[in-house]
Each structure stands twice: as structure tokens, then as C-alpha cells.
Amino acid sequence: MALFLTKDLDDDGHSRLGIWHVTESEAELRALSSVPTDELEEISFIKSESLRRQKLAVRALLDAMFEEKVYLSHHDNGKPYIENNATNISITHTDNYVAVILNDQDDPGIDCESLDRDFSAVEKKALSEEEIEDLDVERRNEQLAIYWCAKEAVYKKISQYGIDFADQIEIDSFRPKGEGELEATFIHKDGYEEEFELNYMTFDRHVLVWIAGE
């Protein structure tokens, strides 16, 4: 079993983080995870073996984080939810890691990316002029990855259609470290602003960013 990490994110136990290192074969993950029949059927139709393994790893991680069997589903906009549990959930996956954040009081958000990916396209796609000016030349790709994951985490938490990453999600200036905190502002289309605190960590050439909740 490749459970990488589980930890409470607050003293009251309202929010939890879990990470699974995807090292198993598809058959091993099927044996490890208690996937409901209808969900297993959906996974079997996925053409990519890597994506099938990621979906099964999410299932294995949920089995490790919950005492009871849970039923995972998705709203029409793709936002995940648990049918038989009121806990809010956000999910992210890469070829090598999947991660889940749970919060029983508020909507969380999470995103993970491999640092071996080229994030140069993110600069024009998702960053404001101020954020571009803040980029560190020596650690540009890593910083772009953190920017992208942070904006994705905010996007998943807000869960609205048509969000402009460059104009509506602002990340305060930061310098990449092994782990740290970020400040973000989401600007609604009516001008109302929400501020969020995010956390991030880098491990095994990956970066993970999350919003635990309010």
C-alpha cells in the first residue's frame, strides 16, 4: 500500500489531507480499493491506463481516510462530492501522485503538478502583469507551477464557470520554498473580493497547493 501521507490540517480535525503515491499496477489497485460497481464500470471505459490507475488510487486513498465505504460522484460542473457523507472534498491527480482534501464545514480546493512539466504557457494563460513581473528568473518554472496550482485550488473551491485566472485570481508576491503559505484574492464578476490563505509543499519533483477552507 503506497499511502504517502495523511494529516489533520487544523486542531479541531475539521480538515484532512491525504496523498497516495501511485506505484501499484491497475490490478493491484483494483484489489486494494473497494470501488462500487457502477464507478468501476465508468473507470473501465477510460482509455488511458495511467488515468485508470489514478482514479483507482483516489479510491484506495478514500478507503484509507474513511472508516466506512464512501460513494464518490460528481456534479454537472465536475466538482466531486461524496453521496453518503456530508464532508466536502477536492481531488487532484498526476501520473505519480493523487491527493484529496476533506473539510466537514467548508469547500476546500487542491491541486498537484509535476515539476518536470514545462509551465511556460501558464505565464500568458493565467498570470497578471504584476505576477509576471514577480517571477524569479532562476526558479521560474517552479514558481509558475506554484502559481498554477494555487489558482487551480482557488478555482476548484469557488467552482464557477468562466473564471478568468489572470484577472479574477490574484496571488500575492512570494518566493518558492520547500513549503510555505500563499495569500490569494478572488474577484467576483460583480467586483466583490474574497481572500484566501493557501499552503503549499514540494516533494519528489511535485508541488501541491491547497485551501483547507475558511
Within 10 angstroms of residue 91's Cβ, the number of other Cβ atoms is 21
The structural domain count of the chain equals 2
In single-letter form, the type of residue at position 152 comes to: E
Query: pTM, whole model, 2 decimals?
Result: 0.95
130 shares a domain with 97: no
What stretches of the chain adopt beta strand conformation (E)? Answer: 3-8, 15-21, 72-74, 80-82, 88-93, 97-103, 109-114, 169-171, 179-187, 193-203, 206-211
Last residue of a domain, one of 75, 105, 135: 105
Domain with 66 in it: 3-105
Asked if residue 80 lies in contact with residue 2, where contact means CB atoms within 8 angstroms, the answer is no
First to last CA, the chain: 32
**Average pLDDT in the 106-113 region?**
97
10 shares a domain with 99: yes
Checking DSSP bridges between strand 15-21 and strand 3-8, what pairing results, if any? antiparallel
Q: For helices 49-65 and 37-44, give the axis angle rounded to 10 degrees.
A: 160
pLDDT for 126-183, tens place per residue?
999 999 999 999 999 999 999 999 999 999 999 998 999 999 999 999 999 999 999 9
116 shares a domain with 91: no
* Predicted pLDDT of residue 83: 92
122 shares a domain with 93: no
132 shares a domain with 90: no
User: Secondary structure of the chain: what % helix, strand, coil (to 5)?
Assistant: 35, 30, 35
Written as nine digits, the cell of 181 is: 503559505
Q: What is the CATH number of the domain that holds 69?
A: 3.90.470.20
* Predicted pLDDT of residue 39: 85
Written as nine digits, the cell of 151 is: 489558482
CA distances (Å), origin 202, targets 35, 103, 149:
30, 22, 12
Query: Residue 203 pLDDT more than 70?
Result: yes
Query: Residue 199 pLDDT more than 80?
Result: yes
pLDDT for 73-97, tens place per residue?
989 888 999 999 999 999 999 999 9
Written as nine digits, the cell of 213 is: 477552507
Integer-rounded Cα Rg, in Å, for the chain is 17
Last residue of a domain, one of 62, 84, 105: 105
Last residue of a domain, one of 105, 132, 153: 105
207 shares a domain with 133: yes
